Amino acid sequence: MANQKLAMVIDAPTCLDCKGCLAACKVANNVPDGKWRNWIKGADPERRASSPVVFQPGNCMQCDKPTCVEACPTGATYKNQADGTVVINRTLCIGCGQCLAACPYGARFKNTDLGVADKCDFCAERRKFGLEPACVSTCPTKSRKFGDLNDANSEVAKLLKANRAVRVANEQTRTDPNIYYLGEPGPTNWTVQARMPEAFDFWRRLADPVVKAVVGLSGLGVLAMLGKQLAMPKDAPPADGGAHEEAGHE
Amino acid sequence: MTSSLDQKISRRGFFKLTGAATAAAALGGSDSALKPGAAQAGTRLKPGFESKYTVCDMCFNKCSAIARVVDGKVQKLDPNPKFLKSRGMLCAKGNAGVRQQYDPDRLKYPLLRVGARGEGKWKRLGWDEALDLAAEKMKAIGEKYTRCGFMFMAGADMQSTFIHRFAKAYGSYNTLSHESQCLIAGTRAFLDTFGEVPIPDMLYAKYCLMMGANRFEALVTPDSIDMMTAMKQGMKLVVMDPRYTKTAAKAHEYYPIKPHSDMAVMLAIAHVLIKEGLYDREFVAEKTYGLEQLAKHVEPYTPEWAATESEVPAEVIVKIARELGAAKPAAMIYPGRRSSNYRDSTQVRRAFAIVNALLGNWDRPGGLTAARMVGLGGGVPLEEPFYENNPADRVDAGRATLMFPEEGSFKLARDAVLEANPYPVKGFFCYHSNPMQTVANRAKTARMFDQMEFVMVMDVAMSDTAWMADLVLPSQYYLERLDPCSAQQGSSACACVVMRDPVVKPMFEAKPVFWVMRQLANRLELGEHFNFSVEEFRNAQLKDLPGALEALQKDGVYYNPSKLYGVYEGRIYKTKSQKIELFNQRYADMGLDPMPVYRKPAQPEADQFRLVVGRNAVVTQSSSTSNSLLMEFQPTNHLWINPAAAKGLGIEDGDWVKVASPAGKQWIQAKVTDMTRPDTVYMETGFGVLSPQLAAHGRGACIAQVLVDDFDQISGNMAMHETFVTVSKEAA
């Protein structure tokens, strides 16, 4: 079977900012209190005289050039070649938090219940049982559409073929995201420049090959070793890099 | 960790520290049993999980949902894609139902008050003891004060029918519902115009003027969803609201109308439609009564005049009237739902109804369509016993001109009880409703309870009303219950039947209210009226709907669609003239204004504000504000106050302020925002909770404490926007 390219195509102007997708995700994925795997940008708008306000639903963009994967010292975060999602292997994740700062969308958080990085995985568990991602299925206005862009007959592929779409990206950090916005996308100035780990090159040169190789063999001992050395950084300050829209799929 | 969570922990800690032994005992129980999936954080579903249909109970909409159940515990609620009325959605509140099911603050067993009323000292009772006591009190009160001396209140619940049944069997006319806090003025107005309450055909509307409704936040199925679909198909949405709601934010045009001037704008629109001949001449001539009188009536109500009343510019009113006229008949004034606003709310909504009639949108695509009953039966028939010594009528009868006898008016019934006029009422049973939180003038409600000899409350948690009771009974949560079928009124497109089977086993000693009513009936020698099971009742309801039970089991919903438009062809309207009444003859006969007359409303003094109330998509009044998931979205309420007004009072964003009215005062944090008018302050419902056994305790302010209890003079609906408050930066 051909590889999938799972994506979301979101019709932001139809979002009511009702928080249904946030609630559904939180329950479906046992997301801890105070943390969220998805969001609605531009919520609670200040008053504007005219023209409808656009709320922008989103979540991890499952990027094709994911900076989080680059930043991960253990290989716990990787691009799943089978379906295109960016995945966190919880066994390998040491909770170092470098991927959090490396994401231009702030899509990741530390799951305090589990001590690992966490983020949207397009509801991998639900998909396994043939269910749509929780946010997609619950959405009142069906603003969020989900499917495989490699399947020309999928709703998302058809929508992208028939409509102009944009992706939200950070100017300094291009990651080739897999969330597309139909029409007016709403706020685009909220992304941040990815902050790659300070000792990134050092670790990459030294630890990365070793870790990846050893992890493949024995795993846990190495995690313990690394866990001692790498501390969770503080919340990343917002970078000054502005965001822009880029043209979507042809 | 969020501040909301910190506060919640400290609240629990409070009980431990203060050793409030009896209250803590009521809270007791193993928390680990209340956390499904906690052992496997991050995963919820397992191979072989079950999917069971249920009907959401987080608000009145009753959306069909699918519960995903693992090892006897609900892990997730998903929408039922076959449920057309919700358009296959489940909102944030619906998703949060899982948290309510496993809320550690659920009531676990019957509790008897042992301290002063509202003091919170309780003693655990067994069910038999509790029911014996309740039956004894009901018997004694019935004998001493007549059976009407016991009052019953039931919220919008699929088992509420059994409370009404019990009240009839027991012999009390005094039943109350939530409706007199909500929609009866609007219901009255449309009934008295069209002879029935219409269903907006929002999906096919081309133009919608929305006033007195916030449909993108106060979700109503299918209107809220269809409104967005219609907008995507090109419908123009114009919103007038004193507050910049999310509905306003999503509208094409928004006007911050002065509160209580909706009627002025509506009459001016009628003025333009008639003067410029933009109304549907053929429809109006054929189907309506009173155009001539109306034309004369609205003559003085010019757009220029309405502009001075409403602060909506005259040219805007003219433009909207012309746009409505051009888009008709697929153009509507949204009828709305909650109309518990003003002393003349029935007349305000009559003005909405009249403009709709002028647009000729009745019974046509994109307009107002006839409601359709799906044909669900009434269940097991009741042979109502007759009690000779009962008074002639309800206790609140005659206190408003045209009340609905089956709904009554909580406000007027409370007045009657407090005055013991025309007769004393000394017993009260409340199920699934929370008047201590929702009804204006909480002090009066507390006084009403004080003068009762027996108050019994059944709910899933220790609501503020339960907190005031003598006997508190733990109700099963909806996911545990076998409920009768419920017909969902709608247009033909989505009139349907839903039903509820248990999804999980009941927790603790919680029982369904049907069982309680049956037990009490048996103890009061009324057992013959409850000589059936819920299944038998349900079968009786479905007897004229062949195939319905199978459809419900297979799809979670049953439909039998029929013609949607043109159903009034050859039919008469259920009004005196048998036509749509622009001029209401019955009103004229009764000395009421036959057409809405605008009387300049009182306005707040310079140091006052009009208080308006409402909610958003994560709040269903007080029943949802202690939900641990929904609290993450909204841990408290704020007082919205305009920057200009705040500046004058030295109030900054986040400051604690005192909000005071003749009814009472509350302290609340200010949200300084231009999303409300300088003359209007706003707060959400459901906070300022009295009961320390709710997570929302100690958060925000309670509307019921500060709202003055005025009422719509025709329907008896509560009038919640007639309160003027002062706001001051003053420590508690």
Q: Please compute the mean of the pLDDT values over residues B216-244 and round it to a whole number.
A: 97
* CA-based nearest distance A77→chain B, Å: 16
Cα-to-chain-centroid distance, residue B124: 32
The answer to whether residues B282 and B388 belong to one domain is no
Domain holding A92, by residue range, is 6-42+49-247
Q: Please compute the mean of the pLDDT values over residues B579-602 and round it to a whole number.
A: 97
Question: Does position A82 have pLDDT exceeding 60, yes or no?
Answer: yes
Taking CA atoms, what residue in A is nearest to B77? A24
Q: Using 50, 70 and 90 to split pLDDT, how confident is the model at B360?
A: very high
The answer to whether residues B217 and B93 belong to one domain is no
User: Per the domain annotation, does A161 fall within a domain?
Assistant: yes
CATH of residue B697's domain is 2.40.40.20
- CB A6, CB A87: distance < 8 Å: no
Measured between CB atoms, which of A32, A34, A138 is closest to B90? A138
Q: Is B505 exposed, middle or buried (0-12, 13-18, 19+ CB in 10 A)?
A: exposed
Least confident of A107-121, A197-211, B698-712: A197-211
pLDDT, chain B, mean: 93
Question: Does position A52 have pLDDT exceeding 70, yes or no?
Answer: yes
User: Per the domain annotation, does B595 fall within a domain?
Assistant: no
- Using left for φ > 0, alpha for ψ between -120 and 50, and beta otherwise, residue B539 falls in alpha
User: Per the domain annotation, does B245 fall within a domain?
Assistant: yes
pLDDT above 90 coverage of chain B, percent: 90
User: Which one of B528, B544, B559 terminates a domain?
Assistant: B559
Put simply, the answer to whether B44 touches A20 (Cβ < 8 Å) is no
The answer to whether residues B177 and B202 belong to one domain is no
User: Per the domain annotation, does A72 fall within a domain?
Assistant: yes
Taking CA atoms, what residue in B is nearest to A48? B249
* CA-based nearest distance A232→chain B, Å: 16
Q: Where are the alpha helices (DSSP H) in A103-154?
A: 124-128, 134-138
Q: Please compute the mean of the pLDDT values over residues B221-243 and round it to a whole number.
A: 97
The answer to whether residues B28 and B97 belong to one domain is yes
If you search the block for the tokens 């991050």, which residue do you land on? Answer: B42
Among A33, A21, A17, A6, which Cα is nearest to A59's? A21
* CA-based nearest distance B495→chain A, Å: 19
Strand ranges for B357-516 from DSSP E: 368-369, 427-431, 454-459, 471-474, 483-488, 496-500
Q: Where are the alpha helices (DSSP H) in B28-159?
A: 92-95, 97-101, 127-145
Interface check A124 vs B, CB under 8 A: no
Q: Is the ipTM of this complex over 0.90?
A: yes
- CA R_g for chain B: 25
Pick the residue with more confidence: B603 or B35? B603
The answer to whether residues B319 and B202 belong to one domain is yes
User: Per the domain annotation, does B265 fall within a domain?
Assistant: yes
Pick the residue with more confidence: B7 or B97? B97
pLDDT above 70 coverage of chain A, percent: 77
User: Per the domain annotation, does B375 fall within a domain?
Assistant: no
Instruction: Please tell me the predicted confidence (pLDDT) of residue A50.
Output: 57
User: Which one of B101, B119, B143 terminates a domain?
Assistant: B101
What H or E segment, with its residue span, contains residue B176? strand B175-176
Put simply, the answer to whether A16 touches B673 (Cβ < 8 Å) is no
B496-531 pLDDT per residue, tens: 999 999 999 999 999 999 999 999 999 999 999 999
Angle at alpha carbon of residue B438, lines to B668 and B491, rounded to 5°: 125
If you search the block for the tokens 């053929």, which residue do you land on? Answer: B282
User: Per the domain annotation, does A68 fall within a domain?
Assistant: yes
Interface check A23 vs B, CB under 8 A: yes
Instruction: Please tell me the predicted confidence (pLDDT) of residue A43.
Output: 86
- CB B653, CB B647: distance < 8 Å: no
Question: Does position B64 have pLDDT exceeding 50, yes or no?
Answer: yes
CA distances from B347 to B238, B260, B353, B583 (A): 22, 12, 10, 12
Q: Please compute the mean of the pLDDT values over residues B120-125 and round it to a whole number.
A: 97
Give the end-to-end CA distance of chain B in Å, rounded to a whole number. Answer: 28
Measured between CB atoms, which of B41, B79, B251 is closest to A138? B79
Question: Does position A242 have pLDDT exceeding 80, yes or no?
Answer: no
Q: Please compute the mean of the pLDDT values over residues B436-461 and round it to a whole number.
A: 97
* CA-based nearest distance A111→chain B, Å: 9
CATH of residue B297's domain is 3.40.228.10
User: Per the domain annotation, does B316 fall within a domain?
Assistant: yes
Put simply, the answer to whether A138 touches B217 (Cβ < 8 Å) is no
pLDDT above 70 coverage of chain B, percent: 94
Instruction: Please tell me the predicted confidence (pLDDT) of residue B44.
Output: 84
Q: Using 50, 70 and 90 to split pLDDT, how confident is the model at B241?
A: very high
* CA-based nearest distance A201→chain B, Å: 32
What is the residue type of B619?
A: V
B284-330 pLDDT per residue, tens: 999 999 999 999 999 999 999 999 999 999 999 999 999 999 999 99
Q: Into how many domains does chain B fold?
A: 4
Question: Does position B6 have pLDDT exceeding 80, yes or no?
Answer: no
Q: Using 50, 70 and 90 to split pLDDT, how confident is the model at A44?
A: confident
If you search the block for the tokens 């969803």, which residue do you land on? Answer: B225
User: Per the domain annotation, does A1 fall within a domain?
Assistant: no
Torsions phi, psi for B485 (to 5 deg):
-70, 155
CA distances from B703 to A15, B39, B185, B633 (A): 29, 40, 20, 20
Interface check A161 vs B, CB under 8 A: no
Chain A neighbors of B228, CB-CB under 8 A:
14, 16, 140-141
Q: Please compute the mean of the pLDDT values over residues A39-57 and round it to a whole number.
A: 83
CATH of residue A86's domain is 3.30.70.20
- CB B680, CB B609: distance < 8 Å: yes
Instruction: Please tell me the predicted confidence (pLDDT) of residue A199.
Output: 58
- CB B73, CB B64: distance < 8 Å: no
Question: Does position B620 have pLDDT exceeding 60, yes or no?
Answer: yes
The answer to whether residues B337 and B405 belong to one domain is no
Interface check A135 vs B, CB under 8 A: no
Measured between CB atoms, which of A48, A51, A141 is closest to B225? A141
Residue A242 makes CB contacts below 8 A (sequence gap 6+) with A171, A189
Instruction: Please tell me the predicted confidence (pLDDT) of residue A215.
Output: 44
Put simply, the answer to whether B44 touches A26 (Cβ < 8 Å) is no
Question: Does position A201 have pLDDT exceeding 60, yes or no?
Answer: no
Least confident of A201-205, B171-175, B521-525, B668-672: A201-205
The answer to whether residues B405 and B262 belong to one domain is no
Angle at alpha carbon of residue B258, lines to B304 and B703, rounded to 5°: 165
User: Which one of B85, B101, B117 terminates a domain?
Assistant: B101
Q: Please compute the mean of the pLDDT values over residues A49-78 and round it to a whole number.
A: 93
Q: Using 50, 70 and 90 to split pLDDT, how confident is the model at B30?
A: very low
* CA-based nearest distance A37→chain B, Å: 12
Question: Does position B37 have pLDDT exceeding 90, yes or no?
Answer: no
User: Per the domain annotation, does B587 fall within a domain?
Assistant: no
The answer to whether residues B440 and B322 belong to one domain is no
Instruction: Please tell me the predicted confidence (pLDDT) of residue B5.
Output: 30
Is the bond into B110 cis (omega within 30 degrees of 0)? no
Question: Does position A23 have pLDDT exceeding 70, yes or no?
Answer: yes
Q: Please compute the mean of the pLDDT values over residues A58-69 and round it to a whole number.
A: 98
Instruction: Please tell me the predicted confidence (pLDDT) of residue B9.
Output: 34
Residue A229 makes CB contacts below 8 A (sequence gap 6+) with none
3-state secondary structure of B49: coil
Pick the residue with more confidence: A214 or A62? A62
Instruction: Please tell me the predicted confidence (pLDDT) of residue A204.
Output: 55
Among B592, B199, B590, B579, which Cα is nearest to B354's? B579
Chain A neighbors of B235, CB-CB under 8 A:
none
Q: Into how many domains does chain A fold?
A: 1
Chain A neighbors of B628, CB-CB under 8 A:
33
User: Per the domain annotation, does A242 fall within a domain?
Assistant: yes
Put simply, the answer to whether B617 touches A18 (Cβ < 8 Å) is yes
Instruction: Please tell me the predicted confidence (pLDDT) of residue B732.
Output: 72
Q: Using 50, 70 and 90 to split pLDDT, how confident is the model at A238?
A: very low
The answer to whether residues B516 and B654 belong to one domain is no
Q: Please compute the mean of the pLDDT values over residues B198-224 and round it to a whole number.
A: 96
User: Per the domain annotation, does B71 fall within a domain?
Assistant: yes
User: Per the domain annotation, does A148 fall within a domain?
Assistant: yes
User: Per the domain annotation, does A77 fall within a domain?
Assistant: yes
Instruction: Please tell me the predicted confidence (pLDDT) of residue A202.
Output: 54
Domain holding B23, by residue range, is 3-101
Pick the residue with more confidence: B489 or A144? A144
Token representation of residue B115: 């301290």
Instruction: Please tell me the predicted confidence (pLDDT) of residue B491.
Output: 72
Torsions phi, psi for B55 (to 5 deg):
-130, 120
User: Per the domain annotation, does B267 fall within a domain?
Assistant: yes
The answer to whether residues B219 and B335 belong to one domain is yes
The answer to whether residues B461 and B540 belong to one domain is yes
Question: Does position A246 have pLDDT exceeding 90, yes or no?
Answer: no
Put simply, the answer to whether B91 touches A47 (Cβ < 8 Å) is no
Instruction: Please tell me the predicted confidence (pLDDT) of residue A234.
Output: 34
B635-680 pLDDT per residue, tens: 999 999 999 999 999 999 999 999 999 999 999 999 999 999 999 9
The answer to whether residues B151 and B235 belong to one domain is no
Supply the DSSP string of B656-695, one letter for each residue: EEEEEETTEEEEEEEEE-TTB-TTEEEEESS-SB--TTST
Put simply, the answer to whether A20 touches B37 (Cβ < 8 Å) is no
Chain B neighbors of A16, CB-CB under 8 A:
216-217, 224, 228, 246, 250, 617
Put simply, the answer to whether A138 touches B89 (Cβ < 8 Å) is yes
- CA R_g for chain A: 18
Chain B neighbors of A19, CB-CB under 8 A:
92, 617-618, 633
